[in-house]
Amino acid sequence: MRILVVNAGSSSLKLSLLDHDDTVIARPADLSALRGLPEPDAIGHRVVHGGAEFTDPVLLDADVEARIRALTELAPLHQPKSLRGIDTVRRVLPDLPEVACFDTAFHAHLPEAAATYALPAAWRQRYGLRRYGFHGLSHAYATRRAGAMLGAVPRRLVVCHLGAGASLCAVAGGRSVDTTMGFTPLEGLVMATRSGDVDPGLLLWLQERENLSPAALADVLEHESGLLALAGTADMRAIHDGLALDVYVHRLRAGIAGMTAALGGLDALVFTGGVGEHAVGVRRRAAEGLGFLGVAVDPAAEDTVDADISVPGAAVRTLVIAAREDLEIAAGVRTVLNR
């Protein structure tokens, strides 16, 4: 089955055309570039939010699309992009089966202790307030790939998806049991332009003194914070030392240790995403502070992917894995259409 994978961003569509064996035929720049390429048999869409309802990939039809659209209130910055991607591709390829694959699905069965906010029960029930988690397609793929590289999925695995957005996931026997992102993708680690964890009392204090509307405060937290606020750039490739890197690594180490606590120990650690794959200094500095967990990275390991970078004999295996959400989406499409 030849699959077109669609990842809708804020201003563009990222497309991957995969052959029957998951070989990449092309990564067309836009839909017009599909002309002259082999025709896909099906389409797989990345959808950021599946709420509590969508816990597996699902065949798109009018009813499912309406239910996805109804979740926009939970992800007002991200869900419309996914829906626009579906609409855009359908206009060009109207007759192909389409499958929605959800970034929240991998975290859908978090233990209640990990998923629950200490907020009034009436609010939690009325609005579906819980920790949903994101980057699930990347975490799921990295888990499967780690299993293939090590011979079996590690019993206690922490996956670090480090890109413009960043999150950690504690994986116990192949299942997500904790993660750093929560009700929104703002929670957790310092990111390129997102703040990560901030004292909510500080935000209320600032909102009053700066006379900020909720929309204005959200814009600052989403687009003017993180590395950009600390270093003047959101590009980790331009940050080699200083406060921004210190803060980033401090939060990363603490997060990995927290995920390890949720697992009761650590057997393997994975770095993935653009920063995770290529920022050698970030990996090295993170590992230096995690020696007490058994993490030890080969200092000679440089810009490498799909590789074990542990020192020989390390108690914890440390892997660098290329982020391939497209393969996870393709697997979801095949699962749905081959039932």
Residues marked active site are found at 103
Measured between alpha carbons, how far apart are the two ends of the chain, in Å? 14
Backbone angles phi, psi at 253, to 5 degrees: -60, -45
Beta bridge partners of 102: 47
CB 147 within 8 A of CB 326: no
Report the length, in residues, of the chain.
339
What is d(CA 46, CA 339) in angstroms, rounded to the nearest whole number? Answer: 20
Rounded to 10 deg, the angle between the 136-150 and 325-337 helix axes is 90
Take residue 141 and report the two structure tokens written for it: 């793929």
Q: Quote the strand ranges of the chain, DSSP E.
A: 3-8, 13-18, 24-26, 42-47, 58-59, 98-102, 156-162, 166-172, 175-179, 268-272, 307-308, 317-320
CA angle 260, 198, 143 (to 5 degrees): 30
CB 51 within 8 A of CB 128: yes
Kindly give the pairing relationship between strand 58-59 and strand 98-102: antiparallel
